[in-house]
């Protein structure tokens, strides 16, 4: 059996020890204001290090997920299995953890984590849903010239859909971090781990994926949903995120920030986005 993901303790965002599934470890209890946070490709709970204190100040408990094979040292060669890990594997791990909770959390996801959040919401696992510059589900064409440029080195590898992938520094800056100050770009890049070529294939080339792993039944996403797009985003362009919002128009509120890009969790002015998220959550209470 594949090893499930590890999760951050409420109010911390730090990884739990390896005894997460020890029966002596109490099942976390979801209070009325609990957020389940899902990071994006190459990330980890550290991606939420600015958002967690902000959300705590609004009275929320935070549980920060670590996707399968992501609790590792970026300087160490990756586990070869990560290259073959499917979005369905990530979603199954996350579902297992959410079902262990005594209650239904608010789910917030960034980038690929936003797509995983959509998949989980369609399974009835979200009380509310917040999608920050999310990847698009199957059926929405998300490949643009900027997306290709951001994944170019990975796609040039033979059978990249079976291999661990990680962008070059220049690709990361171009696609995701071009609004970060130079010193923060280097710091963020140093923390990126390898991710799944298969998951990247399932998102970008869904029309070639026989399992349609990135498919989401929009009719099953019935909870209030906030979707945030960045006008300068190059890897989940606003033009694509608008289509995601249109798919959930019955329940969705869309907010676009013209001067923000993909790394809305930390780029200058991230507080403006966070305040909108906090205000929307408050309105939905």
Q: Give the sheet arrangement for strand 252-257, strand by strand.
A: 6-7, 61-66, 34-38, 106-110, 128-132, 225-230, 252-257
Measured distance CA(166)–CA(75) in Å, rounded = 12
pLDDT digits (tens, 9 = 90+) for 164-212: 999 999 999 999 999 999 999 999 999 999 999 999 999 999 999 999 9
**Range of weakest confidence among 19-28, 115-124, 181-190, 273-282:** 19-28
Contact 40, 47 (CB under 8 A): yes
Measured distance CA(78)–CA(15) in Å, rounded = 19
Mean pLDDT, to the nearest integer, of 215-220? 98
The pLDDT, as a whole number, for residue 125 is: 97
The pLDDT, as a whole number, for residue 33 is: 85
> From its phi and psi, is residue 121 left (phi > 0), alpha (psi between -120 and 50) or beta?
alpha
Mean pLDDT, to the nearest integer, of 85-100? 96
Mean pLDDT, to the nearest integer, of 26-38? 73
The pLDDT, as a whole number, for residue 30 is: 52
Q: Which residues of 124-163 are buried (b: 16+ CB within 10 A; e: fewer)?
A: ebbbbbbbbbbbbbbebebeeeebeebbeebbeeeebbeb
What distance lies between CA 262 and its chain's CA centroid? 12
Q: Is the pLDDT of residue 281 over 90?
A: yes
Structural domains of the chain, with CATH: 6-17+31-284 (3.40.50.1820)
The pLDDT, as a whole number, for residue 32 is: 62
Other Cβ atoms closer than 10 A to 114: 27
* φ and ψ of 196, to 5 deg: -90, 120
Q: Is the pLDDT of residue 16 over 80?
A: no
Measured distance CA(105)–CA(107) in Å, rounded = 6
Mean pLDDT, to the nearest integer, of 225-251? 98
Cβ neighbours for 90, distance < 8 A, ≥ 6 positions apart: 5, 67, 68, 116, 199
Q: Which residues pair with 257 in a beta bridge?
A: 230
* φ and ψ of 220, to 5 deg: -95, -5
For 155, half-sphere exposure in the C-beta direction (CA atoms, 13 angstrom radius) is 13
The pLDDT, as a whole number, for residue 226 is: 98
pTM, two decimals, is 0.89
Of 116, 128, 107, the residue nearest 62 (C-alpha): 107
Mean pLDDT, to the nearest integer, of 251-265? 98
The pLDDT, as a whole number, for residue 102 is: 83
Measured distance CA(215)–CA(117) in Å, rounded = 12
| HEC-encoded secondary structure of 205-243 | CHHHCCCCCCCCCHHHCCCCEEEEEECCCCCCCHHHHHH
H or E stretch at 281: helix 270-284
């Amino acid at each position: 059996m594949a090893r499930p993901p590890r999760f951050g303790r409420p109010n911390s965002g730090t990884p739990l020890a390896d005894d997460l599934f020890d029966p002596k470890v109490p099942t976390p209890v979801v209070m009325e204001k609990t957020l389940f946070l899902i990071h994006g490709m190459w990330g980890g709970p550290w991606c939420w290090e600015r958002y967690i204190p902000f959300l705590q100040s609004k009275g929320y408990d935070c549980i920060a997920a670590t996707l399968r094979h992501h609790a590792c040292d970026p300087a160490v060669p990756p586990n070869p299995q990560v290259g073959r890990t499917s979005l369905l594997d990530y979603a199954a791990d996350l579902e297992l953890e959410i079902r262990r909770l005594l209650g239904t959390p608010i789910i917030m996801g960034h980038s690929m984590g936003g797509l995983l959040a959509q998949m989980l919401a369609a399974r009835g696992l979200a009380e509310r849903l917040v999608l920050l510059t999310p990847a698009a589900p199957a059926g929405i064409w998300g490949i643009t010239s900027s997306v290709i440029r951001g994944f170019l080195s990975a796609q040039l590898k033979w059978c990249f859909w079976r291999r661990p992938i990680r962008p070059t520094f220049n690709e990361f800056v171009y696609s995701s971090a071009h609004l970060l100050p130079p010193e923060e770009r280097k710091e963020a890049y140093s923390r990126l781990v390898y991710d799944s070529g298969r998951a990247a294939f399932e998102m970008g080339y869904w029309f070639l994926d026989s399992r349609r792993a990135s498919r989401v039944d929009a009719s099953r996403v019935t909870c209030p949903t906030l979707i945030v797009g960045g006008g300068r985003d190059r890897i989940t362009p606003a033009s694509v995120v608008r289509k995601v919002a249109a798919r959930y128009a019955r329940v969705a509120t869309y907010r676009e920030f013209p001067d923000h890009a993909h790394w809305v969790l930390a780029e200058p002015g991230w507080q403006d986005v966070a305040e909108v998220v906090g205000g929307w959550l408050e309105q939905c209470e």
